[in-house]
Amino acid sequence: MLSPKRTKFRKMMKGRMKGVATRGNYMAFGDFGVQALEKCWLTARQIEAARIAMTRKIKRGGRVWIRVFPDKPVTKHPAEARMGKGKGGVEFWAAVILPGRIIFEMGGVERELALEALHVAAQKLPLKVKIIEASEI
């Protein structure tokens, strides 16, 4: 799974997700892509599940680009722990996704197969997405 090798700080504040994506909102590499329509935290597990589903569908043909990286540490306290005692330990890593962000791109595959593979990947994601083509933009 994806996670940073090292970070400047171990823990991070929640932050607020507002507005739309101003970077990463265009097709840069492939011919087909998955674009977010909602905001969310996309975990490393969800990114990996979508990637595996996509690459299995295209039978390891073509090329897949992951355009997001989970660099936000999300912390949690253990279940039934008492209040206080500081911030919890890092539970998982997440990528902050804003509307308009391109999550995956795919190239070197026939149109029908690419759209099927991206649809399977979209079902693994916890947000509404749109499958787009480079020719549309």
Q: How is residue 33 annotated by DSSP?
A: E
Q: What does pLDDT average to in each consecutive run of 10 residues of the chain (137 residues)?
A: 95 96 95 97 98 94 95 96 94 98 96 96 97 84
State the pLDDT at residue 137.
Answer: 59
- Which candidate, 31, 36, 3, 30, places its Cα nearest to that of 122? 36
Q: Give the C-alpha separation, 112 to 107, whole Å.
A: 12
Q: If 0-12 CB within 10 Å is exposed, 13-18 middle and 19+ buried, where does residue 70 land? A: buried
The residue ranges of DSSP E strands in 3-81, in sequence order, are 32-36, 40-43, 63-66, 72-76
